[in-house]
Structures are given as structure tokens and as C-alpha cells.
Amino acid sequence: MASRRQLKLGAFMRPVSIHTGAWRYPGAAPDANFNFAHLKRFAQTLEEAKFDAFFMADHLALLNMPMEALKRSHTATSFEPFTLLSALAAVTERIGLVATASTTFDQPFHIARRFASLDHISGGRAGWNIVTTSNPDAALNFGLDDHVPHDERYVRAREFYDVVTGLWDSWADDAFVRDAQSGIYFDPDRLHVLDHKGAHLSVRGPLHIARPVQGWPVIVQAGASEPGRRLAAETAEVVFAAHGSLAEGQAFYADVKGRMAAAGRPRDALKILPGAFVVVGETDAEARAKRARLDSLVHYDSALASLSVALGHDASRFDPDAPLPEIPETNASRSGRERAIALARRENLTVRQLAQRLGGYAGLAFVGTPRTIADGMEEWLETEGSDGFNVMFPDLPGGLDDFVRTVVPELQDRGLFRRAYDGTTLRDHLGLARPPNRFFPDPA
Amino acid sequence: MASRRQLKLGAFMRPVSIHTGAWRYPGAAPDANFNFAHLKRFAQTLEEAKFDAFFMADHLALLNMPMEALKRSHTATSFEPFTLLSALAAVTERIGLVATASTTFDQPFHIARRFASLDHISGGRAGWNIVTTSNPDAALNFGLDDHVPHDERYVRAREFYDVVTGLWDSWADDAFVRDAQSGIYFDPDRLHVLDHKGAHLSVRGPLHIARPVQGWPVIVQAGASEPGRRLAAETAEVVFAAHGSLAEGQAFYADVKGRMAAAGRPRDALKILPGAFVVVGETDAEARAKRARLDSLVHYDSALASLSVALGHDASRFDPDAPLPEIPETNASRSGRERAIALARRENLTVRQLAQRLGGYAGLAFVGTPRTIADGMEEWLETEGSDGFNVMFPDLPGGLDDFVRTVVPELQDRGLFRRAYDGTTLRDHLGLARPPNRFFPDPA
């Protein structure tokens, strides 16, 4: 079984949970976004389960939602990713640590330096989730009145990536000779000054930190737009995808892997890991009930806003405890509207339940016994829907512990997931090659 | 003895040492700037000795020196302060963690957020060393052709400080009610949107992280210029001073504490901690020999550059093993020149020894037995030369261990240094009050 293709599993984390009602769930740690002890415990548990990576969500402003909804959300306070992941690096040994950082609102010299530092501190476990930051409120926190347009953000992102990876290549791996006898600390011939002058960025370099342990930290992206897919095919090593169905996943998988061939990259050099919300129960019915209970903790006022947006129609006059009425056609996104209606019909949800689902977490979900969940994940892997998943836990620590205690062993028994780490770096876990240094291509 | 005024002791650290020859010293860890395990060990040892803080030096470019000297320096690679101190936060319990961050080359929203995050992760142990970054090479790494002029940097620094502290005050201490029953996570009336629009900065806010444990992380500064002293008197809680002599220290102390009164602040709200290089021996002669050996590891080519700059005169034609010849007057800084000449005469140094001293570390130093060193520190404290010191160790781990093992107990026996931490935060250690929230002055 050892040679069977295996799932890659990241844990996509917010301190309290991705689900907006989770802080009210029995056993939750509603103060985890203030309290490092919880995060340490979560990361260590994920490492015991041999997860590939701990993946920290981020945003650069308060989430853009009405105050009536925001005041009910635990997302209003959270740790900053670099400080959190660096602290976790010191109390874990093997698990990868993926931090989100924006190419629109930060400087490539800072980003290159911090990821290099995190990679050295962690012994080669850092990954950079490149985001261009679509929240317009973020611009206002960084001295910009208007948000940078989408396409321009992607042009800058590509240049930013070139600069950051170029800075990581400032030093050959053998540059630091540290010869105490002669007194030579480094060989100047093994140092490269980038001297980048481009359309958006001007950065001299070199970076004043040695090349990262992994050469480059692992490059992660999530963009699903046309420029996002192009950037991913050219540069990404992990894509954090968001799909509602296996068919969508397969189409995305075929598209991005096809683009890679066109960009001259082997298909295996990029792992596609959709986000997957996972709710475990001893029976499928118990798991569904657990999810329903969790959704019921999303306040109806907050949930209604999500439903109205999805439907393109004010849902506040609907009877919350009746089935969804017929909705007239509007100019809103047809796919969002149709998905919401189909979901309500399929699961026989009331207006309230549908709203709470949309206000909680409405993307791809595996809900059931460990066997049901493993069946689902196996199908995605075997039919080229994905290379694994970024798992989202419904509640912490309970949902995480359930997954680790029951689903991981089921996946291991099927030969679909590792029982031990083979290597020490995040690249080792993901089966990604260490990139050569563009300025010093000779092996050290 | 318990009520006696006590020394505050920070450890001013570079991973290998402040001294440029230290990586060649017997027992040194010349790879400490790549290897977190060493730093963890240093920080834990300092915490066992009850140091107030671990203070991380920083710069935003390779140090600006000729390649012939730079290639002999271990400073060419180092950890980034936030990632390093966050990692150390996870493996220490009490010691303060002071990070340098620049007001010229970073964004106040990022800085406010990272220090708040470090303060939460560490349980209230963060300090911000505000620097305006004088190295012109740094500008080139951040897209600027010219360095920002000195006075303009200080104007921006003051505004930056106002914005950062304003962002830290975004949330009242009691804002996060987390009432699972009603579903209210925070009280919107206890949230303040900064909406700052100033001459240099425009930042809306609020910060999306709760107010730091300490209210604000401790504010540290080092500027000794006229605008630097003014900024310090108005805003700083620790000043990292640099003096060659007790008389200079006393003059600076009187000046800055006097300016505080004018700014309406109590004298005790700011601690003046000069940098002090400390070399311990079983006899004073042994300590001096140790220092001479360390200085001898600075390569003469590198050292000559330092000597020529100090003298304002090309020293390369001097006989390295002869006493310093008479130097003609030049246009160079008279004080630097006179200090170098006086040092050579006082310690009877050859040209080579003088150059190596200047190329190693030439500022305030205590060199001798634990008793000699404690006498010196006590004199500074008792005569208002300082409130303590930022200790610089000649070599790591040896010089650090010597200090902790022999000087700290001597200071404790004299009642000049704590035997146990009284509190849990850096403010507790330094005896600094928790600042009130400017937008929510009522106690929580």
C-alpha cells in the first residue's frame, strides 16, 4: 500500500474556527483568538496526526460586514500570521506552517525576509500563501483611498513574486564558509545583488539572511479567476481551491494542470487542495445533526444578510420556519441563487436553516462517519478532483480531535495518508523539489 | 535591602554577538544566526537570571561597509526580529521581548498589529524599539532612491507613534463580552475607529486584534539627537543610550529626565539604559586579556577602516605594532579623533590593538571581576548615570554564561537586582504603568 498515491492534508485555521457560530458550540474555546495556549495545543495535535501543514487564514481589516452581524463574529480579533506561526514553530517539530501575506499591502523585502526567517527558525517548514487582498477596507488601513483594481493587483503580484524569490536566491547555499582560521565568514562571489527595477517595484537587495532551508518556502495560492489561474499555473506549488462539487473540482484540476504543461512545469509540481469542511459523527445522521446544531448558533439576523445576498432578493419577509418560497428571477448572480435554492430543496431546509447554513459555512463539506468521509476524500483523489484537502474543522478543539482520532486512522488504514513523516521539511511532506538557485545553479 | 532602587537589565543581542570578531572566539556558536536552538538557549538562560528583556538589534539592509570588511562579519545573515521573538515567546515565560521596527520603511497598521499579536502571544512581554532607520542602503530595498532626511523621519516617526498607539486603543479592555447565550461576541460601543488623516499617514482602523495585554507594548527608543531626545522625552518608556563615560551618561540622564518634566511626565515613567559591553574574568587582568584576545580576532584590514574613520586620517601606513604616532589635525570629527587617541594612550595600545578595539566594540565597557563590574554598575545607578543597562556580551554563550553565573549573583547580593520576577509583564519588570485607553478612559 505504501506506493499508493496519498492525500495531502492541510488544516485551514482560524483560532476559534472557520464557522461563525462555532464560538457558541459546547466545548468551544471562544477566547482562542487571544490565547496562544489553545493554538499550541491545536498545532501539536495536528502534528501528532501527521498533517502536512497548519494554514493560517488572514485578512488586513475587520471583515467587511454590517455591525449587527460583525458583533456576533469571533473574527473581529485574531493573531497576526507571522507572529503566530513563528511561535508555533518553536513548539512543533515537523508540521508545515503556511502564512498568508499580501502582495498589495506589503513590501517584497519584508515578505522575503520574514518567510526566510520563519523557514530557518522552523527548519524548513514555511509556506507563503500569496494573496492580492480583495477587501476594499484593507486599502484604507494602508493610506490608499481606492482599492487597487483586480488586474493591476495580479500584475504587481507576479512582479512581487519574482522579487521575493530573487531575494531568497541572494546567497548560494555554500556562501557562508565561516572559516574561523582565516576569518572569512562568507564568500562574496557567492552573493548576488538583485538590483530589481520593474514596473511596480524597485528593490536592490541582497537579502541579509541566508537562503531558506527549503531554497524557497512553498508557494501557495488561492485565486480562481483567469489571472489567478494563470499565476498559479506559472508559480504555485499548492493551490487552495474552493469548489462546491466534485465535477467543479475535476474541471478546475484539469484546467490548472493543463496550464502547467503549457508553462513547462510537471503536473506533480503543484498540489491542488480544495477547502473541505468536515463534520464527523458515529453515524451519518449524528454528523448531520451536529452540523445542524452548529448552524443553529448562527444568529438569524446575520444569516439573513447572507441569504439575501445569495438570492439577490430581500429574504427578511419570508417565514423563517417555512420552506423557501419561489423566488422571482433577479439580476443577481444566477449560480449563487441556483445553488442556494438547490441546497434548500435537496436537504429540505427551512428558510432559517438555509440562511444559517449560508451564514456558517456553505462550501464543500464532508459530513458523516469516518468511513463516509474517507470514501468522499478517496473519490476526489482517485478521480482527479484534488490532491488532498485543506481541512476546516467545524468546532475547536472538538471537531479537530474527532477528525484526528477517527478519520485519520481510517485514511491510514486505506493507505491514503502517512503514518509517519518521511522528511523534515514542508517540501518533503508535499513531495515538492527544492528549487535551484537561479543565480547559483551549481549544486553547493 | 528590598526597597533599594534596583538595576533594570536588558540583553542587547545579535545572534552571534555584538562584537565582530566573536564568531572566531573559542566556544562560539558561529552559526547562531541560522540556528534557532542557540537563541532559545540564550533566552532561557537570561530568563533564569531574571533579566528584564531580550532586546533584538535590527537593520534593514546589509551593513554598509566595504566588502573586504563585510565578508569577515557574521552580521551578513540574521533572523528577522518579529519571527525570532515570537518563537522565543513560545519557549520562555517571563522575560520581556523587545523588537526593533522602523517608522520609515513600514506601515503603522502592520506594526501595531504585529506588536499587539506578540504581546498577546507572550502574555504581555512585548516592547517596540522605535527606529527611524539611518542606513541609506535600506531606502534602496524599499523602492526609494533617496534616503528620507533626518528631520522629516522624526516628524513621520512622531505621527507614526500616534497612529500605532491609537490603533492599539481600538478596543476597550472589556469590549469582548463573548456571551454565548445571546450570541454577542463584542460590544460595538466599545470599539473605536481611528480614522487618522495626517501629514504623512492616513489610516482608518480599527485594528482587528484586541488591545494588547500591556495596553501598549513598552515604547523603546535610542535616538540621541535633538529631535531624538525630544521624541524620547515625550513618548519613550525606555531609552537605549550610548555613552562612553559616566559624565556623559549623567549629562544625558539629567537632560532627558528634565525634558520629561517639561512634557508633563513623571521621571520614573522612563528608564535610561545605556548599552554596556561586559567582559568578566576571575581577575581584572584576566578580563582584560580576554578582551584583548577577542579584539585580536578582528581582522586588521577591517579594523584599519574603523581606525582611519575615527582619526580622519589614512592609518594604513602606520606601523601596526608600534604606538600610535602623532596625528595631524584634520577636518574630521574632533571628538572621535580625540577619543581614539586618548584610548590608545590610556591603555598603551599599539596601532593594531587600537584599530581592533574600534573594529570590535569601542563604547562603554565594564571589564573585570564580578565585583569590579558590579561596582561600576552600582556607581552609574547611584549617581544618576542610568537606571540600568542594556548588556552586550562579548561572546556567546561563554560571555553570557559568565555574566549570569557570576555578575548577577553579585548584583543580587548587593540588593541591586531581583532574585525573582514580581510580575508577569515587561511593564511589571520595568515598573511602568499600564497606559489608559485614550478612547475608553473608564476602567474596564
Q: Could you state, in order of their start, the residue ranges of all structural domains in chain B?
A: 8-281+369-430, 285-359
Residue A85, Cβ density class (10 Å: 0-12 exposed, 13-18 middle, ≥19 buried): buried
Please indicate whether, in this complex, the C-beta atoms of A208 and B77 are within 8 angstroms of each other.
yes
CB A199 within 8 A of CB B143: no
pLDDT in tens, A25-37: 999 999 999 999 9
Specify the CATH architecture of the domain A8-170+196-281+369-430: Alpha-Beta Barrel (3.20)
pLDDT of chain B, 444 residues: tens digit per residue: 446 799 999 999 999 999 999 999 999 999 999 999 999 999 999 999 999 999 998 889 988 888 888 999 998 999 999 999 999 999 999 999 999 999 989 999 999 999 999 999 999 999 999 998 877 889 899 987 777 788 888 899 999 999 999 999 999 999 999 999 999 999 999 999 999 999 999 999 999 999 999 999 999 998 788 888 998 999 999 999 888 899 999 999 999 999 999 999 999 999 999 999 999 999 999 999 999 999 999 999 889 988 988 898 899 999 999 999 988 777 667 778 888 999 999 999 999 999 999 999 989 999 999 999 999 999 999 999 999 999 999 999 999 999 999 999 999 999 999 999 999 999 999 999 999 999 999 765
User: What percent helix, strand, coil does chain B show, rounded to 5?
Assistant: 40, 15, 45
Nearest CA in chain A to B22: A180
Average pLDDT over residues A278-291: 98
Question: Which residues face B277 on adjacent strands?
Answer: B365, B392
Please indicate whether, in this complex, the C-beta atoms of A87 and B87 are within 8 angstroms of each other.
yes
CB atoms within 10 A of CB B35: 17
CB atoms within 10 A of CB B26: 9
Phi, psi dihedrals of residue A80, rounded to the nearest 5°: -80, 140
* pLDDT at residue A42 in the model: 98
Distance from CA of B175 to the nearest CA of A (A): 10
* pLDDT at residue A409 in the model: 98
A50: alpha, beta or left, given left = phi > 0 and alpha = psi -120 to 50?
left
DSSP A149-171: PHHHHHHHHHHHHHHHHHHHTTB
Chain B residues 66-85 with CB within 8 Å of chain A: 67, 70-80, 82-84
Question: Which residues face A171 on adjacent strands?
Answer: A191
Domain B8-281+369-430: which CATH number of 3.30.1310.10, 3.20.20.30, 3.30.420.40, 2.70.98.10 = 3.20.20.30
pLDDT in tens, A133-159: 877 889 899 987 777 788 888 899 999
Please indicate whether, in this complex, the C-beta atoms of A83 and B82 are within 8 angstroms of each other.
yes
pLDDT in tens, A239-262: 998 888 999 999 999 999 999 999
- Mean predicted lDDT score pLDDT of chain A: 93
Question: What residues of B are in contact with residue A91 (Cβ under 8 Å)?
Answer: 90-91
* pLDDT at residue B332 in the model: 65
Pick from A78, A83, A160, A298 the residue to mutate for testing the B interface (most B CBs within 10 Å): A83
pLDDT tier for residue A443 given thresholds of 50, 70 and 90: low
User: Using CA atoms, how far apart are residues B307 and B302, in angstroms rounded to an integer?
Assistant: 9
Residue A206 preceded by cis peptide, ω within 30: yes
Cα separation values, A366 from A294, A296, A371, B193, Å: 15, 18, 11, 39
* pLDDT at residue B274 in the model: 97
Residue B184, Cβ density class (10 Å: 0-12 exposed, 13-18 middle, ≥19 buried): middle
Cα separation values, A98 from A95, A121, A352, Å: 10, 14, 36
Question: Is the pLDDT reported for residue A428 higher than 50?
Answer: yes
- Own/partner contacts of A175-180, CB < 8 Å, gap of 24 or more, are A175/A210, A175/A211, A176/A210, A176/B31, A176/B34, A176/B76, A176/B77, A178/B23, A178/B30, A178/B31, A178/B74, A180/B23, A180/B24, A180/B30
Say whether residue A439 is in contact with chain B using an 8 A CB cutoff: no
Question: Is the pLDDT reported for residue A333 higher than 90?
Answer: no
Distance from CA of B92 to the nearest CA of A (A): 10
Phi, psi dihedrals of residue B364, rounded to the nearest 5°: -55, 130
Average pLDDT over residues A72-81: 92
Chain A residues 191-220 with CB within 8 Å of chain B: 201-206, 208-210
Q: Which helix (H) or strand (E) holds A116?
A: helix A108-122
Residue A298, Cβ density class (10 Å: 0-12 exposed, 13-18 middle, ≥19 buried): buried
Say whether residue A93 is in contact with chain B using an 8 A CB cutoff: no
Average pLDDT over residues A265-271: 95
CB B170 within 8 A of CB B191: yes
Pick from B86, B145, B191, B299 the residue to mutate for testing the A interface (most A CBs within 10 Å): B86
CB A89 within 8 A of CB B138: no
Dihedral, CA of residue B42, residue B47, residue B52 and residue B54, to nearest 10: 20
Among A67, A114, A188, beta carbon nearest to B67: A188
CB A269 within 8 A of CB A261: no
Distance from CA of A270 to the nearest CA of B (A): 27
